[in-house]
Amino acid sequence: MRDFVVVGAGPAGSRFARSAAEAGHDVLVLESGEIGRPLACSGHVSLDVWDFLPEGARDDLFQNDIYGARFHLGGADSEPHRFYKDEPVSNAIDRVGLDKTLAHCAEEAGAEVRDGYTVTAVDEKPGGVEVTASGPDGVETFEARMVGGADGPRSRVRDEVGLPEPEELLHGVLGFDFEPDHQDFVDVHLTVPRFFAWRIPRGDSGVEYGLAVRPGDDAPQRFDDLVADYDADIDKRCSGAIPIGPPERTVGKRSFLVGDAAAQTKPFTGGGILYGMRAADVAAREIDPRQPATLDDYERAWRDELRNDQRLGSLVRAGYSMPRPIQKAGMRAFSGEIAVHMDRPTSLFSKAQLRALLSWN
């Protein structure tokens, strides 16, 4: 019997598999398709991502340095409010390559990673779990002491073990123009109800356009309007769900959720790469596959890890829906040089950010 079967080889699943394998556990990872595909997630990340990757990975995955953002309250021609640093604050990266690299790290640590396996059933038993999946050789059942659901916002593991869903599932749309663009600012448009639209230059790899809306809104039309405003030619597009707001519980009797399945995401951007990997490390540290009670330790610990940033992130997101005069006043107050970390809203209250604010007056 294995210690863990992990369903999903995205950043959170592969990071957990690597950390758990390094701790001496027997780990099997099942991915439904080709690792990294289909692409349904932005490739704009904070510089912290390199801390989770092996030396030399940057040479393969890096696409562009980003120094700040231009926030618009209107379309592409509207006057922006600039937020910036004099050094890179984030990077555009090869998102598919990131998944492949993290899965390879898990394998090097001793985990077994299999793609082409679609999980169809999860059965929690007193002594372990049975995970049934359809793979290249037909239907197989895998036994383990615990199962980890890292299978995205519409998690099959979550449904099978009866855990609650995230508070929200937004509809996100991405599109890519492959014409090279080496600008060093992203564009953010607060023109989408309750969220925003974006444009991210990706160096030689082109430009990423995207937005997210609540269910029932016309995401395709809003996306078409966005790219038309920039007169962009979209060579490829994709879409997916973006979970916002963790469910009340993310662990079962012998199961746990990590990453998008647990809505371990930033409420103000929907990004979950770094939050999911941070939570994955917490899971590998706290969960003993022979002691089901340690699942509750993981539940408490990951919430402690992310709680403050997720709460403050929710307040930041609330600003997207403020009346336009309040938005304009806020933009004028905060635009300029910043000392804020894009993954940690708590840095809004750091000494460095306070000094930056005082320096503008």
Local confidence pLDDT in tens for the 361 residues of the chain: 999 999 999 999 999 999 999 999 999 999 998 898 877 678 899 999 999 999 999 999 999 999 999 999 999 999 898 988 889 999 999 999 999 999 999 999 999 999 999 999 999 999 999 999 999 999 999 999 999 999 999 999 999 999 999 999 999 999 999 999 999 999 999 989 889 999 999 999 999 999 999 988 999 999 999 999 999 999 999 988 999 999 999 999 999 999 999 999 999 898 999 999 999 999 999 999 999 999 999 999 999 999 999 999 898 888 888 888 888 777 776 677 776 677 777 666 554 444 444 444 4
User: Whole-model pTM?
Assistant: 0.92
Domains of the chain, by residue range, sit at 2-318
Q: Closest Cα partner for 264 from 104, 350, 148?
A: 148
2-318 CATH fold: FAD/NAD(P)-binding domain (3.50.50)
Please give the pLDDT value at position 358: 41
3-state SS class at 320: helix
Q: How many residues does the chain have?
A: 361
User: Using CB atoms within 10 A of its CB, is residue 332 exposed (0-12), middle (13-18) or buried (19+)?
Assistant: exposed
CA nearest neighbour of 35 among 56, 12, 8, 61: 8
Which of 138, 104, 144 is CA-nearest to residue 122?
144
Burial of 71 (0-12, 13-18, 19+ CB in 10 A): buried
309 vs 156, 315, 357, CA distance in Å?
27, 10, 20
Nearest to 91 by CA among 352, 342, 346: 342
* Beta-carbon contacts of residue 113 (< 8 Å; ≥ 6 apart): 9, 14, 17, 29, 31, 35, 103, 106, 107
Which strands sit side by side in the sheet containing 207-213, from one edge to the other? 236-244, 168-177, 207-213, 197-201, 185-189, 68-72, 81-84, 336-337
Number of C-beta neighbours around residue 330 at 10 A? 14
Helix 11-22 to helix 273-286 angle (10° resolution) is 30
Cα–Cα dist 293/222, whole Å: 47
Looking at 262-348, which runs of residues are DSSP E strands? 336-337
Contact 202, 63 (CB under 8 A): yes
| pLDDT in the model for residue 99 | 96
Structure tokens at 251: 């662990």
* Residues 133/118, Cβ–Cβ less than 8 Å: yes
